[in-house]
Amino acid sequence: MKPFNIDMMNAGKKVVDVHNERWDVALFDIFGEKSWYARKCDGQSGPQRLDEITGCLSNGGVLFIAGEKYAGWVNIYPSQGSMAITGKVIHSSVDKAKETAGDNCITQVRVEWED
């Protein structure tokens, strides 16, 4: 997760809480005063006032920008010691990893990470 950022949210990034639950955020103009409010997407909670700078909610919670998830494949090679080592490239598919694997490649392993 990344710190809350209104520009990233406006660019379409998902807004989540510390439990990775989605939230909707909207700007309301109430009697000439513009305020940001957030509501959990489960529909079970009422709106909370949102500080658009810090991501803090009026109930004490904090919102974040969800990280993007990525996945790829790496080749695994034997080493001189007891542990195997990985190749230096993350491939987009197992087939592409196999294409670049050397003769001593043990296998290909899927890796996942979040930005």
pLDDT of 95 higher than 90: yes
Q: 3-state SS string over the chain? A: CEECCHHHHHCCCCEECCCCCEEEEEEEEECCEEEEEEEECCCCCCCEEECCCCCEECCCCECEECCCEEEEEEEEECCCCCCCEECCCCECCHHHHHHHCCCCCCEEEEEEEEC
Question: Considering the entire predicted model, what is its pTM?
Answer: 0.65
Q: What is the pLDDT of residue 80?
A: 73
pLDDT of 34 higher than 80: yes
pLDDT range class, residue 70, cuts 50, 70, 90: very high
pLDDT of 92 higher than 80: yes
Instruction: Give me the mean pLDDT over the 88-95 stretch.
Output: 92
- Parse the chain into domains and list their residue ranges: 2-65, 69-114
pLDDT tens figures, 75-86: 998 887 777 777
Q: What is the pLDDT of residue 53?
A: 93
Mean pLDDT of the chain: 90
